[in-house]
Chain A
């Protein structure tokens, strides 16, 4: 689980001068180790997600979940089905990561300050969404906070467009349909309770209300 406290940036004294521009080093700030900076190219400078690249918010996720997913990608359990275009963009990133590197990335990302995504979907029915979410809360928690024991990731604060696409992917068997992905298989069956895109929209719309 993550520390919810937002870090406050404090400024140290000027430590170096570049031409005549002053450079301030910011203290008490979690800095991405240089060898994992490439993750931020897609997932955003603060791991907050990037809709232009279809890369989700990682800052809110736990190290256990990150580790599991990176391992799934590396073992071709996730991101290999022909129509999973976006998953297949992520998959090659993991092929050359060692188990230690996966651990280190998971530890680091798990400790990041949470950056809560802004809502982008419109027009959902929050009442119907809440009703539908009752089926999700057993694993993902009443407040969408996630549940380690159930291997269920946090949903509150995740990018709504990502949640939307993942629910579609599960329904279309683009995710969760590979041997070795038990939690994915569970999620695949759970997603069938959402009849159509309208139902997905409503539930995602409701999840957006959980972030605060």
Chain B
């Protein structure tokens, strides 16, 4: 009875909310914004104004075409950090006639856009290691960016323009597995079976409620009938609304020359004990995770490499920046290079150095700008990859995608490329848990591989016998990065983001860190174009 009442109230509230939405047509836009402001503050007003089309399209930065550089002086640009954000800025500025110089602390271009192949170095701070993969074109893994979503327009724009060949990236594979020590005695289950049964059980519950006329006040008879049919199809229930298993889970046997035999539904209470429903199950519904996704053929570092033939810029590598000084007419930067400290001066500077590392770089920025830098926090993610003697996953009908486990390794990724080849490089771990990542970080690189191997064998019992060699990338221990994404707390973001988006003097902070899409290449490009738009306007007006 109580539950019935609860359901009714809930539905009524939903309807009421829908009513408010209808009402908003009668409110003026300004009145609406005032209401929103009272309830949600200035950030909410900004978001709603964007949605109503009352603000310029800032949700995604638009691609800027930089106007021709003025004749004479004022054309020298310094780019600190040679990652995607600054490569994109150099590409656009050079087209307009500016001269660009990169100062980069590491020995390579690309920053976090890192694909590891035979012989590469994983530059972990204090503990560098070599990658021992065989030298074959499909034996690589993307230690940094792996997925390219459909709606990352700037990124696609550059891939199209620069001729980066893309292929499909499998993010969501129903044949992959989910495993949790607390459920089904730790036995892995195929994701399609878990999902089919979970939907079946949920639908059966809802069908029962409809059959008992719980929603009679809320729905007309016809609506109720339609809802029943909706639910029946959603869960693949029988005529009466009972769930008795489904072919969606895959057959237990048969299906070709003999009739298919359905799997019996799993025990729902066991499904609930598997934490898969907390994240992995809904993961492919995420804002930037929806199928289909893409990757660059041969490794995602081809995205940054595609810029290079078009650039005339000078790259000063192995050159950590030591200090940045805004001067009345430009920016002075001191960096360390070949055993000397050197000073370079430019008209403008775009800086992508991770904010937590910027705290250690002397500067004369204004108070709030410095505070904003110091408040940023680094993210901690880990990827661990193994080369295997066989693509054993293909024997289990797995081609690409992700298995989820409650072991600290968290996610197991099968390569989307190299199908049917003898060997493969698979990710034994991609963990976003800070605790798990810190724990891996404290282990020696060898110990990490050992632990990961044991953990993966809970999902694929024979895994250790296929392992040939491996490599771990603990991003918060990577030299020149010490993190994989930079972010502020919600409160600090509200307080500092706008300040950090704007230049301090002639110095612009850029990179995915200066976007609402930190951890995505599109965030880096968006920040680059936001800064370029500002630059364009100020140079033109001047």
Chain A residues near B (Cβ < 8 Å): 9, 11, 18-26, 29, 31-34, 37-38, 40-46, 48-53, 55, 85, 88-89, 91-97
Is B57 close to A, CB under 8 A?
no
B 36-80 binary contact with A (CB < 8 Å = 1; else 0): 000000000000000000000000000000000000000110100
What are 10 residue pairs bridging A and B, where the CB atoms are less than 8 Å apart in the complex?
Answer: A20-B75, A25-B342, A34-B318, A41-B125, A45-B321, A50-B357, A52-B355, A94-B126, A95-B444, A96-B126
Least CB distance, A24 to chain B, in whole angstroms: 4
- A25 x B341 contact (CB < 8 A): yes
User: Nearest chain-A residue to B126 (Cβ)?
Assistant: A93
User: What separation, in Å, do the CA atoms of A55 and B125 have in the docked complex?
Assistant: 14
User: What separation, in Å, do the CA atoms of A18 and B76 have in the docked complex?
Assistant: 11
Least CB distance, B45 to chain A, in whole angstroms: 31
Least CB distance, B120 to chain A, in whole angstroms: 18
Q: Which of A9, A21, A34 has the most CB of B within 10 A?
A: A21
Residues of B within 8 A of A11 (CB): 343
**Shortest 5 CB-CB contacts between residues of A and residues of B:** A44-B360, A93-B126, A52-B356, A50-B360, A45-B322
- B314 x A45 contact (CB < 8 A): no
- B340 x A26 contact (CB < 8 A): yes
Least CB distance, A122 to chain B, in whole angstroms: 14
Is B296 close to A, CB under 8 A?
no
Known: A19-B99, A52-B376. A34 touches B127 (CB 8 A): no
Chain B residues near A (Cβ < 8 Å): 75-76, 78, 99-101, 105, 125-127, 313-314, 316, 318, 320-323, 334, 336, 338-346, 355-357, 359-362, 373-374, 376-378, 438, 441-442, 444, 477, 479-480, 482
Least CB distance, A173 to chain B, in whole angstroms: 19
User: What separation, in Å, do the CA atoms of A46 and B336 have in the docked complex?
Assistant: 11
Main secondary structure of the interface of A (DSSP, over half): mixed
Residues of B within 8 A of A18 (CB): 101, 314, 316, 344
Least CB distance, B336 to chain A, in whole angstroms: 6
User: What separation, in Å, do the CA atoms of A42 and B346 have in the docked complex?
Assistant: 27
Known: A19-B101, A19-B314. A43 touches B360 (CB 8 A): yes
Residues of A within 8 A of B377 (CB): 52
User: Nearest chain-A residue to B339 (Cβ)?
Assistant: A31
- A52 x B339 contact (CB < 8 A): no
User: What separation, in Å, do the CA atoms of A51 and B76 have in the docked complex?
Assistant: 33
- A31 x B340 contact (CB < 8 A): yes
- B442 x A92 contact (CB < 8 A): yes
Residues of B within 8 A of A40 (CB): 320, 360
Residues of B within 8 A of A94 (CB): 126
- B444 x A51 contact (CB < 8 A): no
Q: Of A31, A42, A93, A96, which one neighbours B360 at CB under 8 angstroms? A: A42
